[in-house]
Structure formats: structure tokens, C-alpha cells
Structure 1
Amino acid sequence: MKKSLLFFALTVASYGAIHAQTTTSSVTGVVKQSTGQTTTGATIKITHQSSGATFSGSADANGHFNIANLQDGGPYKIEVTYLGQKPLIYDNVFLKAGEALQLNPVFSESSSTNLDEVVVVGRGLIDIAEDRKTPIAVSTITREVIEEKVGTQDITASMVNTPGVYVSGQAKGFGESSMTTRGFDQSNTAFLLNGQPINGMDNGRVYWSNWSGLTDIASLVQIQRGLGSSKLAISSVGGTVNFVTKSTDMKEGGFVKTSIGNDMFVKSTIAYNTGLMKSGFAVSAMLTGWKGNGYMDKTEGAGQNYFLSVGYKVNEHHNLNLMVTGAPQWHNQGYTSKLSNFLQYGKRYNDNIKTINGIEMNPRKNYYHKPVANLNWDWTINDKSSLSTVVYASMARGGGQSQRNDSKINPNYYLAADVNNHQWFGIVSNYQRKLSDNLNLNAGFDLRDFKGENYRQVTDLLGATSVTHSGNVNIGTVTTLHTYSTNPWKSWRDKPAAAEDRLAWDYDQIIRYAGLFGQLEYAKDGFTAFVQGSVSEQHNSRKDYFLYTYGTGDSESVNNLGYNAKGGVSYTLGHHTLFGNAGVYSRQPYQTNIFMNYKNDINQNAVNEDILGLEAGYKFSSRYFDLSVNAYRTTWENRVTGSSKNASAADVKKYNPTNDPTILSEGQYIYLSNYGVKQVHRGLELDFAARPLKGLTVKGFASIGDWKYEGNATTIVRNENRVELAVENRDLTGVYVGDAAQTTFGLGATYFIVKGLSIDADYRRFERLYGALPTNSNETLRLPNYDLTDAGVSYKLHVSPKNALSFRVNVNNLFNTFYISEATSNNTTTSTTTYWKGIDTSNYVLVGWGRTWNASVKLTF
């Protein structure tokens, strides 16, 4: 009996001891932002620092999380991460048996430039500022801001509150906006999509109508003004803009979103992510459809955006991700007109509208489909080295339609499209190596192959049975009765026009590019320094099937060697950082500037452009206030520039004295090519963010520039058929560079009234804005200063732990300001006596949008 009692007592004691040893604890809490708004999808990772065991979970739609079944004791390391935010880390945390540790992490907005969690693939290729410790002048725009601010506009609208950036042209139609950075246009600002260059290889331009899907798929946009952190030998004279798209999401869910706006704009989007499945695969897909009438008269448009991302985690060392995206679209276009027309008929006036065969229509139309596919491979070789590679391809089809007339005596009107098809393949690879605790190495290569196909084809005979056109030396006079579609899907799918249906010109552009790059960076005790360099070889050639007999249309090959070299230092002490960077570029000229008059004639003036950039800056960062101040000076020599404008009456008189309508008529396009230009850009930039009260964020920016031309320039003037009209020499010393306001400043605020409900407003002021360099003057036209105010309201309602409804309303140009955003002439002594704010109203200008609005509702599940 005693033995039985003893055995029973020992059993109970043993069970109690075992039970005590296996009593578990948990970590629970709510993740919020500094505004007081809860986050959705934050990741919580808990690591036992002795054993290395890890536990993880994520916050629900209300920001709540609960990580259970943790052993008591410790020490534990708790890491909380959220998209676009710097991770919050809690070290040496000890848990008490059977108790729940309450942890309420708060992300401050000042940490939003840490992008490690955004870049799921291609970490070694996407040159975000955080990849290099030496600072640069940078602004980062998160996905939430993109969704709130863009509305019915191009993605460039998300950048308008950035110092040194000027956005205009949206009034011309869907996707027609343009942006300048520190006074340099889009062809001289580098744009990268997940590390892939997207500037046109032939002319450096970016057409936002081809990239409207970025609004839906971008996880963030980072604008690096000036030298930037990109390691590629790219055209980052003004700066570099990185678009980081949604990599395959690592959590299951999706959303449905509908937007409406002024002028019958409607847009619908559906998206879904499978999350990381047991097989190692993860899939994200999205489809968008949109249409609208446009702000300017008869600038209708419609299109779709699609996105598919398939990721595969092979093992701990290898990750693969295949992305396919595209934005097929068509839209009618507006352009500049006489200021007097806008004053008489209103801001929506469109000079492109014609009456053809008794029908009022807009013959100017853009249609394009440019699908892009890229395959990313991330290889973690070991704890000190990694390799990232992207292989990409683009097969584009489309063009720009306009009204044509090929007869000098009897007008023979028809509609035709200037086609620009291309195929583009490339590979970029970057090797990263940690040489020591303080020294890191990057090295890689960049290969690109581009072929562009250019010709004109008939899209509408306008009631005629055929069109006759001369000029093809192989076929002679061409008579065609075939028409080709302007539907972006059909134009991409159908066969290109036959040789006998190609009018005006028919040629291919071939560009091949190879580059090597490398970077070393040293960092220790708050001091950092880097050196970076690249060298590239570019091949340009041309095949013409229209102006040369078969077998003789191959141009000479033009090969140019280019390079860049950059370096910088910085020192950080507490909240303060000082830095300085310098760089030199020798950049090859674009294909469109190498061959003159759209022939195989090689332009001897098109030599490498020389760029020298200097910049210095100061940054301050704290929980309640962030400040950035930058100074820069950029000189650019041997520059080749190009622009277009509507021909004025004075232009017609000057360049077409016989008044031949097939050469030049008022309102038709004139193309300008300027050689030997030198520009000097210098300025100061400031931006700040303050969080003085709970739920309130105040942001501001300012930019003061001094951008001028220096020396003599040669200008070649051509008409729409690229026929040379004149060659002019001009002294441009002291002339202000146009197309962007040289002084800008703004202030914005966001305030959370109650949980989920916020209001925001942004004010911007533009001064010292000049028009483009005209043909009829050695001065650029100074335009009136103007102010714009935008406002919005957001509300997020959590209908369940995993589902939320989001509402957003925007009003842009709240006070319906009448303003001129750009000009292409400088008429100061004409017969007119009409002026508006000191400007002769015969000048050709573009007036910005008046008051517009948009609203959206989004269901997240």
C-alpha cells in the first residue's frame, strides 16, 4: 500500500513538472503607423536567440496579431516588418510562463525609405537608394500614395510633390504627360522597371500611354535626382526613376476596385495572389479595363492593363520570378494651340479637331501595345555573396495617326499612321560580394539588342477608293487600297503592312549595346565612401527600303564608346548626415540624332555628350521630423536636343514662302534638332516631413534652379515628312532653359480625423517657367506664375478580420485655376494687340487641366 501511494505521488509530481516545463507563452498586439492607422499584412518573426528556432505570423486586416505556443524564457528576437518600412526589432525579450506579452509596434513615416521588404526579387538589380549607404538626393513614393494621388492621371502625377520635378502635358490626352527632373526632359532621365531600362533605345523617350499599368502594379516609385545610385551606364543626367512592381506576394488575398472620374472616366481592376504554396510556387495576377472621354475635346481613349507574376522558391539559395505585363490602349490626342483660342473657347479647346467629309472628328490618334516579360533569378551563393540576373523582352506594335494630303493641286485626304514597331531583348546581371565587414563589391554586365521598324500605312481612306503616293525608289508610285487597324490588339496580332502599302518611308533601326559596371563601397562608424564606374559600347545602323534600291540601303555602322564614373562620401552622426557626390559621363548620342534627315547620312555633329555632375546634401531624421537639403551643379556639353511644335503663321511664311500645303501649313508639326548645345543647371532643393500631432503629417518641398544655355547651337528644322526646311545657327548664351518651372515650392498635410477616416490637401506654386526654345527667337518665353491645390478624402472600413472596404475621393485643381503649363513659341512683335498677363495671345501654348475629380471604392479580401 505504501509503495502504491509513493508511486502515485511520484507520478503526480512528474506530471506537474512536465506540465510546468511545457507551459507556453504568446506574443500579441496591434501594429500601427505613426498616424494611428492600423496596418494590414505586417509580418511578425520571432527567433529564439539561443536555439535559432523561429516562429512567424502576420497581422490581420485590423493590424492584430497573436503568435502562440512559444516556450517561456528566452532570449527572443522579435522582428516586425511592413511593406516599404524599416523593420522594428526587439532584442533580448524574455517571456513569462503562461502569459501573453502585449506588443504594439508603431512604424514612423520617417522609416518609409527602407525598401528591403518591397524588393522580393531582383534585390541586386533594383538600384534603390537603400542598397547603397552613401546618400543621394532621393524621394520615395509608396503604393498607398500612388493609389490615393494618381486617380485618372498618369503615374507621373504621383511625383508632383517632389522637389526638382515638373509634370505637364496631361491635357494632351491619356498617357501624354511628360516630366522633367532638374530641368532635364524624360529622354535624359533614366527610367527602370525592376532594374530593366525602359527608355526608348532610339531616342531615350518614355511614352506613359505604354506604361499606364504602372499605376496598378507599382509597389513604389523612387526618384533619385542627379547622379543617383544606378550602376548602369544609363542616361541619368537629370536623375533616375525606379519603378518597383508587385513581386509575387507572399500572402493569399486579392482586391476588386472600381474608379470613376470626370468626363465619363471608368476603370475597374481585379487582382488575386495565391500566397506561397507548399509547392514553392506563388502567383499574382491582375487585370484592369478603362475608358473615358478625356479632358480636352475629343480626346477619348480606352485600354486594358494586365499583370502576371509567377514566383518559385527552389530552395533557400534560389528564387525565380517570371513577370508579364502590358497596357494595350488607344487615345485621341490634343496639342498646343494659340492662347487666343483657349481664351475664346475654353480650357478644353483642341486644335486637332477637323471637319472631314462633313463629320467633325479628331484625326490625331495614338494606339500601342507593348507587352514586357522578364525573368528574375536570385541566387544566394553563400552568406557573403549573391548573384541577381534579369532577362527581358518586349515586342511592341502601334503608331500615331494623322490626316494626310499628298496632292499639291487636288487634295487627296486620308488618315495614316506612322508605325513604330520594335523588338527588344536584354539581360542585366549583378554580382554582390561582401569583401569584409566594411567593404562591399558589386560587378555586372548589361546587354541589349533593339530593332525598330518604321513606316507609314493607311488607316482610313475617308471615302476614297485608293491612295497614291510617290517616293519609293524600288516600287515607284505606290497606289494602295488597303487599310490597317488602329485597334492595339489587332495591330499587335496582325501581320505588318506589305512593302507595297508602306508610304513616305520604310526603314529599320538596329541598336546593340554592351556595358560593364562595378562599385566598391566602404562603411564604418558612420563614415561611408563609394566609387562606381561603367564602360559601354553602342552600335547603331540603319536599313532603308524606301529611299535606296534593294541591296544598297544598309548604312554604315556607327560604334561609340561611352563611360561614366561616380564617387561620393558621407558621414552620419546621430540624426545628422552630410554627403557629397561627383560624377562624369560620356554618353553616346541617340540613333535619331546620328542619322540625318531620316536617311543613311551620318551626322558628324552627333558626338558623345559630356556631363559633369556635382552635388552635396544634408539629411536629418527623427521620429517627429525629417529634413533633406541638396545643392547641385550639372554641366552638359555637345548636347543634342529635339522638340516639336505647331507651325505658326510666321513659321509658314519663313519656311514655306511659296505656300505649298504639302510642305508646311499653319498648325502642322515642325520638328527641331539642335546640335552643339551646352547647358548649365544648378540649384537648391529642400523637402521635409513633420509629425507634430498624433494623426497629423505635414510635408513640404522647395526647389530653386538656375538653368541656362551657353554658346552657339545649330538648329535643323524639318516638317512632318522629315523634309529639311532650314539650317540655322544661333548664339544661346544666357537663354533660360524651358519646359519646367525653375522655382517651385509646396506644402501638404494629411490628418486622420478618426480611425480609418483621413483628409489631405496639397498646395504647389510654380514660378520662372519658360517655354521651349522656339524657331523664331533666341529667347524662351517666360510664362505667368501659377498655383494649384489638390484635396482628397479617404475612408477604410474593416468589415471582417480579413476584408476591408476603402473609399477615396480626389479633387485636382480645386480652385479651377487657368494656367499655361508649356509654350512652343515666343511671339512678341506681331500685328495682334491682344495680351494676357503680358503674353501675346498669338503664342502657341498648352493650358493645363481645370478642376477635375475622381472617386474609387476597393474591396480587399
Structure 2
Amino acid sequence: MKRLLLLVFLCSSLVAYSQGTVTGSVQDADLGGPLPNASVVEVGTSNGTISDFDGNFSVSVSSNSGTLQISYLGYVTRTVSFTLSNGTANLGTISMDADAASLGEVVIVGTGVIDLASDRQTPVAVSTITAQEISTKAAGNVEFTEAMKNTPSIYVGNQAGGFGDSQVFLRGFDDTNTAFLLNGQPINSQEDGRMFWSNWAGMSDVANAIQVQRGLGSSKLAISSVGGTVNIISKTTDQNQGGFVRFLAGNDSYFKGTASYNTGLNDSGWAFSFLVDHWQAHRKYAVGTAGQGQNYLFSVGYKPNENHALNFLITGAPQWHDQNFSNDLEEYDLYGEKYNSNTGFLDGERYTERRNFYHKPVANLNWDWTISDNADLSTVAYASWGRGGGTGMYGRGSRIRTLVNGEINFEAIRDNNIAIAENGIGDFDDARIRRSSMNNHNWYGLLSSLNLEAGENWNINVGFDGRMYKGDHFRQVNDLLGLSGLADNNQIYMNEFEADPWKTLFDSAEEGDRLDYDYSENINYLGGFGQAEYATDKFSIFVQGAFSTQSFEREERYNVEEAGKSEKVNKTGYNIKGGASYNINDNHSIFANAGQFSRQPFLDNIFRDIRNSNDLFEPEIDNEEILGLEAGYRFQNDNLRINVDVYRTEWGNRFLAVGGEDDTDPDNPVFFTDRFNDVTQLHQGVEFDFEYRPTASTLRFRGYGSIGNWKYDGETPFTRQNDDTSEFVITDGMLDLTGTKVGNAPQTSFGAGLSVRVCDGLTLDGDYNIYTDLYGFVNPDDVVEAAQVGMRYQAERLPAYTLADAGLTYRFNFGGQRFVFRGNVYNLFNDSYINQRDRFGYFLGIGRTYNASLRLNF
């Protein structure tokens, strides 16, 4: 809106006296792309213009020498001097730097409920990824999470699992302990904190920016965050008319088509935007990892006057993808690095035990109200309706494998079903079918924040956050594999339900058709928060606090003896943070922050993790206690930026649950869960990043790294429970984990990136990352064995590895149309590596992959 008003104002100011003309071109300093619609104003006058699609501008000026101010949403404003010669001056290419301090301008509405680091003077450890970097480096057959990997203390693992199955670790904490927000609203699972990135597959197309706030961050909500906060800022209604179409192709038959259009803001204050796309591939990297999905976004904005702005947005990414799990190294040696133990063939086509399918429409309505020059209120009402789940096998019939390639022989399983069936009906003890574990939910929330400027130096913010959540969990028949019905628990199940993200919105099993389990979980949340900050040009100090209460309730339907609602459990939590910063001079500054969190346990840790029971877990799980300390140093001049941060996070009274399988009898494996209570983790380390841009601005070099020491401390009570029978406890005892390294993310990592503008329109870029000090999971059996022989247990250390990526961007005009070509190669040298180790085996990394796209802008 600022740009539109500016244009109208400038066009009406034709009376200004013109002395000459200044021309130039505005580009993104990161990848060299042009910045259309950048504002160019002669300082001290009303003379100005905006850049065209190719970033070019021509502005009339009123004096022979002066200064131009050039600004663009989400970038640092630049001032450039000019001197006319024969009435003209050409400033050449002017590079603009993306900056967290101006990120708030990216957000058309809802700025008050999005916890950006720029909202506070006291710094935090933060990195910002711009829309251009997201769309170029994390598009297509690459996980959206890959956009974050080139930042300090971020690790992205398990990319070989399938489309959308990656995991993000921040300072060694997994995604259940990192808060992910979309336009300010929490999106971690309410029940267990997990992030299912397949539900957000379209974010690479609709994200304006990602802000990674490590550690304490600037979030004011009492959210479940230990590692930090990741704020994903999506596109809303674009106020400039235009759009694009793009076609993208990659390895293994990946294809994606995208179309987007914005009407622009009309005279009545309305604007509309939409985006749709479709993607598909026969595999991601490993065999048996096919996928297909769509992405849609519709947004409408309305600005009736200067004091009010409203925006409604709905987006979703329905998808299905076949999954790949971990395997033993011996299996990879025998069958190859692309081996997938879940897959095989049925009637000549790929078939899998494990398919994830989900559709999660998300809608929000934002209202920004400028009450006065010193007060503004932002409110967002949001909702999501998730439908879908994952498939797996059901029944005690044998899993039959083909010896040649280790894949599952689904045709033999089907033949066995037919052979043992009576009148087409198989029995649970002898048959084997494919079922779907459904996880449907309805989630509604309201978030509001009031910001007050109390005098010249004070800023005060208060607000509340309320959420209501209900999740329904049950199993239904997906594929009877040759049977006409399955007999189980004194009932015959004959209806099949497709594993399809669109159909599951309206077609799921009713209560009488649900097998194995059927229950609901209800969570109600209410929190309040506040922050006060005093800031001058030299120093700042802040204090922040939040309090929340949550209620948890479980409703059983499948088990008649347990049917009904459980007792309602209420838990309260809080956080309090404070900090200060000091600007030594224009180039140097330092800061320090501290915070204490008392975090409620997840619902899945309150109720006994056994199906068909409302029983609470014993002993009762208490709040987790987190103490965070951090300090940092900042340096910046015209060509160089350096950030250094040190941190220490102590996470006490942690509850940890790890699943396992005893396959002594391969046809009847015993599934169990290991539970650790009162675990203490200590994460401490140092991280840095820097960026250097020579004066010529044709080259950009950046580096980053983190050195951590993450370990467990002390003894923990340990319980192993059977997940499938009424036998709750298999074994229990005490485990001493002192000094054991925390696994699944590298404790030491370094990286560097380089981009070079070769010539007008052509830019080359590359990234190189080194990962080491990577450990596997904690195996309780090994801990016990080590203690029996008087040794201190240590988790398995995995081999270090390196990865190199490369990219090319070329912008050109053809036939009067404007095009952008982008090509990427990931894991350029095709290195083999292990990126995670869990209880069941190893996750291998992805070998060399690639994609290329052509985009037409109009």
C-alpha cells in the first residue's frame, strides 16, 4: 500500500522543476535478480518513480547533484549520490540487501501478531531467509525445510524418507521442541508437538520469508519452544497487479506447474490474489517413494480507510506420498542405497505398506486497527481442518519378501489371503491387509496483540492467545488384498476407504466401521502475554512474560469397557525473559538475554500410550523446566556483517518416549515404547555467521557455523511398555545417562556460500556444508549392558560428511515476454552419507538430484 500511495503522490506532483534525468537498475544483492516496483525518490523533493519489471528506473531530478533514496519491501533502504553530466547521470546497478529489520514491511496485515525480531530493539540470535532464496533453492522436488539449512545451528535430516518427511533440528532440539509459526499462529501438532512438513508442501510457493530465531527469540507467546522459534511469513493479498506461470521438472520424472495472479488494489480498497499448482513424481530418490499433490492459496484484502485493514486467506496442500524408513546397513549393502523395505509390486505396479495422505486447509482472518499514532491493535482468527493419515499393514499374516531384491511380495500376500479365506472372509490371525490410521482434527484459535508507544523511549505490548482443538483417531480398512472382508474383534469389516487426500475430506469410516482403536483428544488453551521495552540510541532493556493454562481430555469409543470421557487434566505454564543491549558505536554492539520456561507436557505424554484406554500415565508427568542464557556480538559496515552468539540451555524434567520393535518372531513382532522420565539435557555452544560484499556488488560471500556440546546429565527412571496388549510394563529401572551425547543432529557444522553475477541477467551460486559430531539415538538396552560391565555408555558416533549444491539463474526477454530460468544441482559430487540413526536402523542421505524451471512473469 505504501508503494501505491507513493506512486499516486508522485504522479500528482508534476509541477516539480526538472533539471535532468538519473537512470539506473535495482537488483537483489543475494542472487542478482531485478527488484521491480522499488521506490526511487530524490531526497528533499517530491520527485520520484518506481523501477520496472527488470529493475530499471528513470527519474527526473531538480538539481545538478543530490541524493536518491531507494527502498524496497524487506530490504535495507539505500541512499546514492548523483552528479549530472549534460543533464543525465547513470548510476548503473544498485544492489539491495535483505534485512530482518525491515522484514515487517513484507507483511501487509497482521504485523502485530507476528513476532518478528525487528519488533524489538534488543537483539536476538536471528537469521532471515528471503522469498527469492526460498523460491530458487527450495523449490520443486526439494523439501521446503532445505531453505533453512544454510543458517547457523540448523540441521535438516531424513530427506530420503519421502516427499515432506524431513525433520528440522535447531541447536540440537528436534521439531517437537522448536516452535513453528505461520503468520504468527502456532502450527506444531497440538498433541505431540511434531511437524508434518508434507502438510505444508506448498510453503515454498507461498512464503514471503522465513525468520529463524534461535534460542530465546522474540516470541511473546507461551509456546512450547526450547530450541527457538521459526516464523514462516506467507504471501497475503498483493497490492500490485500481475502474475506468473512456471513449469519445473526434476529427476525421477518430477513435474510441477504453478500459476498465480493478483488483481492489484482497486479504487474501492479491494484486492484479490490466488495461486494454484500441481506436482507429481514416480519417486523422490529411494525406490517406492512416489508422490503427488496440489497447492492452493486464495487471499482477499480490504482497506476501507487508513485506520483499518483486513485480509482473509485460505491455503492448503493436499498430497499423498509413499514413505521410506530406516534400514540396517547390511540391507543397503545387499540391495543398494536406494533400497526401501516398505515397497514391492502388485499387479505390475509399485505398491507400498506405507503411504501418507493428508489435506489440511488453513484459513485466517486478520484485522489491523491503527487506533492512534501511539497505539495499534492486531487480531487474527484462524482455523484448520485436517483429514487423512497413514497406511500400514494389519493382521498376523506373514510379510512375504522377494529374496532377489528384498522387496515385499504383495501378490503372494494376496494369494495367501485368498487361500485361507472362508467365503472370502479372512481372519485377523491369518490374513494381512492394508489399513489406514486416521488422524482427523478441527483446530480454532484467536490471537490478539495491542502495541503502545508510551513516550519517546517506551514500548509496551500485551495480548492473549486462545485455542480449541479436537483430534479424532481411528483405523479403517484401506485394501483387503483379495478378501471380501476381515473378521476381527467379533466383527466383519467389508468396506474399503481410499488413501486419497481429497476423498478423505468427506469419506471416512463411521464408528461402526472403525477397527483396532477409536478415540478423540480434546485440548483447550488460553494464554496471556506482555512485554515492556525501554530503548535509546545507545542501549535497550526489556522484560517479557507469559502465562497459559491447558486442559486435556480423552474420549474412548472402541473399547466398550472404557467407553466415555476421561477425567479432565489441567496444566499451567509460564515463561519470563529479559535482556539488554549496548551499541558501542555505529558498527559494534553487544547484547545478553536470559529466560526461564515452565512448559506443560504434551497430551500424548499425559495419557498412557496404549490404545483403547483413558488411563493416565503413572507417575504423573510434571512440567518441563528450561533455563536459557545467551549473549551476542554484532558488527556491520558497508561491506561486512559479522554475528557471533553463545548460548547455554538447561532442559530439566524432560519426558522422552522412543518406540521400538522386538522382531524375535518376524511374523509376530512386539511393538513397545521406552519412556524416560525426569531427563536432563544441557545444550551449550557458540555460533557465527558473516557476509562480505565487495564494493562492486557483483559477488557475495557468506559463511556460518556452530560448535556445540549437547549431552544428557544424571539418572532417569526408565519404563518399557507393550503397545499392543494389556501388559503395560515389560521392564523398568534407572538409567545413568551422564555425559551421553544427544543424537540426530551434528554438534559441529560449518558452511559457506558464494554468488557471482557473471553478466547482466546471469548469476551463479553455490553452497558447501560440513557436518560432524553426529550421534545416534540412546538405546536403553546398551545403557544397561554398559553399566553391567562397569562402563560409561556413549551413543554411536556417525561418520562426518560434506555436501555441495550449485545453482544458476538467468533472466531474459523473448518475444516481448519476460522469463526467468533457474537450475539447481543438489549434492553436486554425489557423496554417500548417513544423516540419522534411529532404533530401527540408518537413514541414508540423498545422492545427486536436480531440477530446472522456466517462469513467465506478466
- Counterpart of 2:328 in structure 1 is 338
With normalisation by structure 1, the TM-score equals 0.88
Candidates 288, 293, 301, aligned match of 1:298: 288
For 2:564, the aligned partner's letter is G
Alpha-carbon offset, residue 758 of structure 1? 1.3
Candidates 599, 605, 625, aligned match of 2:620: 605
Candidates 699, 702, 707, aligned match of 1:704: 707
- Counterpart of 2:576 in structure 1 is 565
Cα-to-partner distance string for 1:199-220 (whole Å, 9 max, x where unaligned):
1111111100000111100011
Change (3 A) 1:569 1:370: same
Distance in 2 of aligned mates of 1:761 and 1:722: 53
Candidates 528, 549, 565, aligned match of 1:554: 565
Alpha-carbon offset, residue 594 of structure 1? 0.3
Alpha-carbon offset, residue 672 of structure 1? 3.7
- Counterpart of 1:417 in structure 2 is 436
In the alignment, structure 1 residue 819 sits paired with structure 2 residue 833: yes
DSSP-derived class of the 1:116 partner: helix
CA contact (8 A) 1:679 1:710 kept: yes
Distance in 2 of aligned mates of 1:504 and 1:21: 78
For 1:507, the aligned partner's letter is Y
Q: Which runs of 5+ in 2 are unaligned?
A: 1-13, 398-426, 784-793
**Structure showing greater Rg:** 1
Cα-to-partner distance string for 1:763-782 (whole Å, 9 max, x where unaligned):
11111100122243224211
CA contact (8 A) 1:714 1:727 kept: no
DSSP-derived class of the 2:693 partner: strand
Change (3 A) 1:722 1:538: farther
CA contact (8 A) 2:135 2:204 kept: yes
Distance in 1 of aligned mates of 2:348 and 2:779: 35
For 2:167, the aligned partner's letter is S
Which segment is superposed worse, 31-40 or 391-400?
31-40
Which segment is superposed worse, 114-123 or 237-246?
114-123
CA contact (8 A) 2:389 2:436 kept: yes
- Counterpart of 1:682 in structure 2 is 684
CA contact (8 A) 2:713 2:740 kept: yes
Change (3 A) 1:716 1:116: same
Candidates 597, 622, 633, aligned match of 2:648: 633
CA contact (8 A) 1:428 1:444 kept: yes
CA contact (8 A) 1:49 1:74 kept: no
- Counterpart of 1:847 in structure 2 is 844
Distance in 2 of aligned mates of 1:594 and 1:335: 28
With normalisation by structure 2, the TM-score equals 0.88
CA contact (8 A) 1:122 1:388 kept: yes
Candidates 481, 486, 493, aligned match of 1:480: 493
CA contact (8 A) 1:134 1:528 kept: yes
Within 5 Å, which residues of 2 pair with 1:152-301? 152-293=141-282, 294-301=284-291
Within 5 Å, which residues of 2 pair with 1:27-426? 28-33=22-27, 34=29, 37=32, 39-44=34-39, 46=41, 57-67=49-59, 79-88=69-78, 106-109=94-97, 111=99, 113-151=101-139, 152-293=141-282, 294-354=284-344, 361-406=351-396, 410-426=429-445
Distance in 2 of aligned mates of 1:404 and 1:540: 30
Cα-to-partner distance string for 1:272-299 (whole Å, 9 max, x where unaligned):
1111111211111100100012211111
In the alignment, structure 1 residue 429 sits paired with structure 2 residue 424: no
Alpha-carbon offset, residue 109 of structure 1? 2.7
In the alignment, structure 1 residue 512 sits paired with structure 2 residue 516: no
What percentage of aligned pairs have identical amino acids? 42
For 2:736, the aligned partner's letter is D
- Counterpart of 1:9 in structure 2 is none
CA contact (8 A) 2:26 2:51 kept: no
Alpha-carbon offset, residue 547 of structure 1? 2.1
In the alignment, structure 1 residue 499 sits paired with structure 2 residue 511: yes
Alpha-carbon offset, residue 324 of structure 1? 0.4
Change (3 A) 1:466 1:567: same
Distance in 2 of aligned mates of 1:359 and 1:266: 20
Cα-to-partner distance string for 1:40-68 (whole Å, 9 max, x where unaligned):
32332659969xxx676421022123456
For 1:81, the aligned partner's letter is S
CA contact (8 A) 1:31 1:38 kept: no
Candidates 768, 772, 781, aligned match of 2:777: 772
- Counterpart of 2:798 in structure 1 is 783
DSSP-derived class of the 1:144 partner: helix
Change (3 A) 1:315 1:48: farther
Distance in 2 of aligned mates of 1:534 and 1:76: 50
For 2:496, the aligned partner's letter is T
Distance in 2 of aligned mates of 1:768 and 1:511: 38
DSSP-derived class of the 1:808 partner: strand
- Counterpart of 2:854 in structure 1 is 857
CA contact (8 A) 1:86 1:115 kept: no
Alpha-carbon offset, residue 410 of structure 1? 4.7
Distance in 1 of aligned mates of 2:221 and 2:21: 45
Change (3 A) 1:670 1:164: farther
Which segment is superposed worse, 776-785 or 572-581?
776-785
Change (3 A) 1:817 1:23: closer
Distance in 2 of aligned mates of 1:155 and 1:167: 10
CA contact (8 A) 1:670 1:719 kept: yes
Candidates 520, 541, 557, aligned match of 1:529: 541
Candidates 755, 778, 791, aligned match of 2:760: 755
Which segment is superposed worse, 810-819 or 73-82?
73-82
DSSP-derived class of the 1:601 partner: coil
Which segment is superposed worse, 714-723 or 434-443?
714-723
Alpha-carbon offset, residue 660 of structure 1? 8.2
For 1:515, the aligned partner's letter is G
Distance in 1 of aligned mates of 2:548 and 2:599: 9
Distance in 1 of aligned mates of 2:347 and 2:309: 59
DSSP-derived class of the 2:505 partner: helix
CA contact (8 A) 1:325 1:371 kept: yes
In the alignment, structure 1 residue 575 sits paired with structure 2 residue 587: yes
Q: Which runs of 5+ in 1 are unaligned?
A: 1-19, 471-476, 654-658, 826-842
DSSP-derived class of the 1:463 partner: coil
Distance in 2 of aligned mates of 1:278 and 1:189: 43
DSSP-derived class of the 1:676 partner: strand
Change (3 A) 1:232 1:94: farther
Candidates 636, 639, 643, aligned match of 1:624: 639
Distance in 2 of aligned mates of 1:671 and 1:329: 29
- Counterpart of 1:445 in structure 2 is 464
- Counterpart of 2:717 in structure 1 is 714
Distance in 2 of aligned mates of 1:449 and 1:326: 20
CA contact (8 A) 1:445 1:517 kept: yes
DSSP-derived class of the 2:394 partner: strand
Change (3 A) 1:663 1:202: same
Distance in 1 of aligned mates of 2:666 and 2:142: 40
Change (3 A) 1:218 1:360: closer
Distance in 1 of aligned mates of 2:600 and 2:430: 43
CA contact (8 A) 1:31 1:42 kept: no
Cα-to-partner distance string for 1:613-666 (whole Å, 9 max, x where unaligned):
000011111221111111000001111123445x3xxx434xxxxx484452xx
RMSD of the TM alignment (CA)? Answer: 2.7
Cα-to-partner distance string for 1:183-213 (whole Å, 9 max, x where unaligned):
1010100000011110111111110000011
Distance in 1 of aligned mates of 2:76 and 2:560: 60
